Structures are given as structure tokens and as C-alpha cells.
Structure 1
Amino acid sequence: MILVTGATGTVGRVLVDQLLEAGVPVRAATRRPDAAGLPAGVPVVRADLDDPDSLTPALDGVDAVFLLSTGPDLPRHDANVGKAAAAAGVGRIVKLSSGRTGDPAADDPIPAWHRAGEQAVRDSGVAWTMVRPLGFMTNALHWAPSIRRRDTVSAPYGQGRIAVVDPVDIAAVARHALIEPGHVGHTYTLSGPQALSPGEQTEILAEVLGRPLRYEETSPEQARAALLGFGVDAEMADAIMALRATALESFTSIVHPTVEEVTGRPARSFADWVRAHRDEFA
């Protein structure tokens, strides 16, 4: 039995589907089971990573855990899961981390949180695998409203490039690490096949969607204000903006072959991802 935390999120939801397709028993953990919207036949349990008592029943009979946590409380949440998993006799934890965690120069909040979370998982004594994507292709969905209204992509740091990866590929790597031997103790840095700037992503979107689009560079201040407008709290908005700024550094533009090495097939391109999500930009 695999327990998937964050089962309704971008990666967790895809991973649930992939485990079902592979015929692997899966249990989904979420703070709001009534709103999970997961496939019939997937048992959904309430689990709050901030509440260790809620983790004990969620982990009963579980062989492996996919661990997804976010925000400034991430190190404590990862420690809670690690301790509860060890007590439950769980065989392994696959943690979704951040690609920037592997950059020794990264001292901004998100990689710092994940660094501490990774250490908490290691300290638990449970066998582990770390999965570190450089950036998510699905972040481009934030541009969908302005594309629909104005045929425009608005984003800061126009000169920055990130080798973004499809969450389908992130989930595929996690699936292999959860159910196959040979992945314990490995740290997998994941990227797509190409490092892209916001302007280059805009060009690909335009080509796939079949209509002209314009890239408009915004200031970091404008981008932060937009995050606050979406309901992101100030601490998290600052952390996200600090992470976005690292697109200007070389670390995030490095292409890694890890997806193909683990799964046996090449990482999907940004154009592949846009084709799969075309309707969301229409």
C-alpha cells in the first residue's frame, strides 16, 4: 500500500492515477477528504501533517509514502511524517523536494525549508529517495487568464531560463522510486529537455495554440502584488519571488537526463505539455 500525501495537488493527483494504472494499492491523504474528488475505489483518509496523531491511522499497513509538504512549516511537517512512518514500520519515503535544494549557493526560503525537510526524513531512519524538480511546466497555467483576455503573458525576469519539467514526469519518477528496488538513497534532480525563458515559453504557447501572443515583462513588485491578489500570504509571496529570481542564475537552466534514466523514456517537452492543456488556454 502506497500513501500519497498532497493527493489532490499537481503532482499527487497524477501520481494517484499512475499508481492505479500500475495496479498498485494506493491510499490518498488530504486535510479535506470530502473535497478530494479522487477516483472511485481510492480510499481517502484525513491527515494533517501538522497533527502527528492524524498520521498514525493514515499510515496503518502502508509500505511506502509519497511526501509532499509546502510552506515555512515544511521542516516540522516532514519530521512529523518521518517519525510516524518509522513508528509504523513504513519501508520507504519518497519526498518531493525542490531542485534548488541542491544548489549550495541557494539560501532563499524555499530551498532552505526543503533542505531541513530532507534532513528530517534522513534522520527518521526510514529508507528515502529525494525528488527535486527544477520548475513546473504547470506554472504556466497562471498565465491562462491574461492569454484568454489579452493574448498576453505577463511575467518577471524575462532573461531568466528554467528547465521546467512536466508534473507527469515528476510523478513517473516518484512512482518508480516508490515501487521498484534500486532507488533508496538516491537524490533525483529533474528537468525538462530544454531551458526556457518566459518569452520562449510564450512563443511555444502561440505556436501550439495557433494564435499570436505577446510577452510582457512585469516588475518583481507587480508580480508579488499579483500573488497577494491571488490570496498568497506575504511570507509565502516573498519566498516565491525569491525562487523566481533564481531563474537568472545558471543552476536552473541545466538540463538533466534523470527522467529518462529512471523511467526509460525522454522527458516531455513544453510543447507536449501545452498540447495536453490546450483547452485551459482557449
Structure 2
Amino acid sequence: MILVTGATGTVGRELVGRLLALGVPIRAATRRPDSAGLPDGVQVVRADLGGPDGLVDVMHGIDRVFLLSNGPEIPIHDANLAEAAAKAGVDHIVKLSSGRTGDDTATDPIPTWHRAGEQAVRDSGVAWTMVRPLGFMSNALHWADSIRDHDTVYAPFGQGRIAVVDPHDVAAVAATVLTTDGHAGETYTLSGPEPLSPGEQADILAEVLGRPVRYVEVAPDTARQAIVDHGVPDELASAIMALRATALEAFTSVVHPTVEKITGTMPRSFRVWAERHRHQFAEVRAG
């Protein structure tokens, strides 16, 4: 049986669906089982990565774990899970990390948190695999309101490019690693098929939606405040902005062949992702 943490998030839901399609028994860990909304056939249990005492029981009967944690507590949460997995005799932990963790020059919070989390997993003695996406196509959903209301993408760092990857492909890699052998001790950096700037993503969204979508570059402070206004704590908002700024560096624009190497299928393009999510950007009409 496979334990999926973060099962109610974007990657987690994609992964649960893939594992179900493969007929793999799944236990999904969430802090709010009653509102998880996961498919029938998934065993949903309550778990809090910040509370290590109950995690060993959650691991009972588990062979492999998909570890997804977020925010400043990543090092603690990863260490708690890794320790519990070791005590329970789990065979393999697959950690969803950050692509920037592999850049030795990255000292901003998110890669720093993930480096500590990765080290905790390695130190546990459980076999591990690190999965490091450079960035997610789904982050473009943050523009959905401004596109619906103003046909505009507001974002900082207009010259930056990231080879963003579809969460569908991240889940495909994770599912393969969790269900096949030969991945222990490996670190996989994932990208989509091309690096894109915010303006280039806006142009693709315009073509998919069939109407103009303009890109307006905003100051980093303005972008940070918008994140805070959406309820994100100050520390995490600053960390997100620091990560966004790395789009200006060459590291995040490198295209990696990993998705095709692991899954046998080319990673999806941003255009394909946009077509799948077109309804979330569709114009809202009065009446």
C-alpha cells in the first residue's frame, strides 16, 4: 500500500488518480478527512505532519510513501514523517521537492527548507527518491481572476523564464517511481518542454481563449502584497517572491528530459495545460 501525503492538493490529486488507475491500494493522509473529496477506493486517514506521535500508526501496512509538505515547517514535517516511516519499516520515500534545491547558489527560503527536508529523509535510513519540479504550470491559475475580469496578467519579473511543468507530468513521474524499481537514491529534476516568461504564457492563454490577454509587469512589492491579500502569511509570501525572482536566472530555464525518460511520454506543453483548464479562465458574462 502507498501512503500519499498532500493528497488533496494539485499534484496529490493527480497522483491519487493515477495510482487508482493502476489498481494500487492507496491511503491518503490529510488533516481534514471529512472534506478531502477523494475518489471511492481511497482510504482517507487523518494525519498531521507536525504531530509525530500519530504518524507511526498511519504508516501501518504501508510499503511506500509520497511526501509532500509546504511552507516554513518543511524541515520539521519531513523529519517527522521520515522518522515515523523508518520506525514502521517503510521501504521507500518519494519526496516532492523543489527544482531550485539543486542550485547551489540558491539560498532563498524555499530551496533552503527543502534541502533540510531532503537531508532528513536521507538521514532516516529509508530508501529515497527526490522529485524536483522547476515550477508548475498550474501557478498560472493565480491569474484567473484578472484574466476573467480584465483580460490581463499582472506579474513581476517579465524577462524571467521558467521551464514550467504540468502537475499531470509530475504525478506521472511520481507514480512510476512509486510502483517500479530502480529509483532508490535518485534525484529527478523535472521541467516542461520549453521555458516561458509570464508574457509568453499570457500570449498562449490568449490564443486558447480566443481573445486578447495582455501582460502587465508589476513591481515585486506590489506582487508580494497581492499574495498577502490572498491570505498567505508574510514569511511565506516573501519566500514565494524570492523564488519567483529566480526566474531571472539561467537555472530555471533549462529543459530537462526527465519526464520522458521516466514515463516514456513527452511532457505536456503549456498550451495543452491551458486547453485543459480553459474553463477556469473563461470570461464571466453578466446576466
> For the superposition of Structure 1 and Structure 2, which TM-score range results when normalised by the shorter chain?
over 0.9
Structure 1 position 231 matched with structure 2 position 231: yes
Paired position in structure 2 for 1:4: 4
**Any conservation in 2 of the 1:173–1:262 contact (CA below 8 Å)?**
yes
Quote the Cα distance in structure 2 between the aligned partners of 1:80 and 1:122.
13
Q: Match of 1:176, SS?
A: helix
User: Matched residues in 2 for 1:277 and 1:32: separation?
Assistant: 26
| Residue 257 (structure 1) aligns with | 257
1:242-277 deviations in Å (ceiling 9; x for gaps): 000000000000000000000000000000000110
Q: What's the % identity of the aligned pairs? A: 71
Instruction: Answer yes or no: is the 8 Å Cα contact 1:220–1:241 preserved in 2.
Output: yes
**Equivalenced residues, count:** 282
Counterpart position of 1:47? 47
Residue 212 of structure 1 aligns to a residue in which SS? coil
What residue is the counterpart of 1:274 in the other structure? 274
In the alignment, structure 1 residue 119 sits paired with structure 2 residue 157: no
Aligned: 1:152 with 2:152: yes
2 CA distance for matches of 1:79 and 1:236?
20
Aligned counterparts of 2:279 and 2:249: Cα–Cα separation in 1? 33
* Runs of at least 5 residues in structure 1 that lack an aligned partner in the other structure: none
- TM-score w.r.t. the length of structure 2 is 0.98
Q: Aligned letter for 2:163?
A: A
Alignment of 1:103-182 (within 5 A): 103-182=103-182
Query: Which SS does the other structure have where 1:43 is aligned?
Result: strand
CA contact (8 A) 1:46 1:54 kept: no
Residues 8-27 of structure 1 aligned to structure 2 (within 5 Å): 8-27=8-27
Specify the alignment match of 1:80 in structure 2.
Answer: 80
Mapped to 2, the partners of 1:58 and 1:11 lie a distance apart of: 21
TM-score of the pair, normalised by structure 1: 0.99
Superposed CA offset, 1:42-100 (max 9, x none):
11000100001221221110000000011111111101111100010100000000000
| Residue identity matched to 1:111 | P
1-structure distance, mates of 2:9, 2:62:
20
What SS does structure 2 have at the residue aligned with 1:194? coil
Offset, 1:187: 0.2
Secondary structure of 1:215 counterpart: strand
2:144 and 2:226 map into 1 onto residues whose CA distance is 14
Question: What's the counterpart of residue 184 of structure 1?
Answer: 184
List structure 1 runs of 4+ shifted beyond 6 angstroms: none
RMSD: 0.5
Does residue 1:240 correspond to 2:240, yes or no? Answer: yes
Kindly provide the amino acid, as one letter, of the partner of residue 213 in structure 1.
V
Q: Measure the CA separation in 1 of the matches of 2:73 and 2:215.
A: 35
2:232 & 2:155 partners in 1: Cα distance?
17
Secondary structure at 2:93 match in 1: strand
1:11–1:170 CA contact under 8 A, matched in 2:
yes
Conserved in 2, the CA contact under 8 Å of 1:136 and 1:164? yes
1:9 and 1:178 map into 2 onto residues whose CA distance is 18
Give the SS at the match of 1:267.
coil
Tell me the distance in 2 between the aligned counterparts of 1:15 and 1:215: 32
Give the letter for the 2:224 counterpart: R
- Bigger drift between 129-138 and 35-44 goes to 35-44
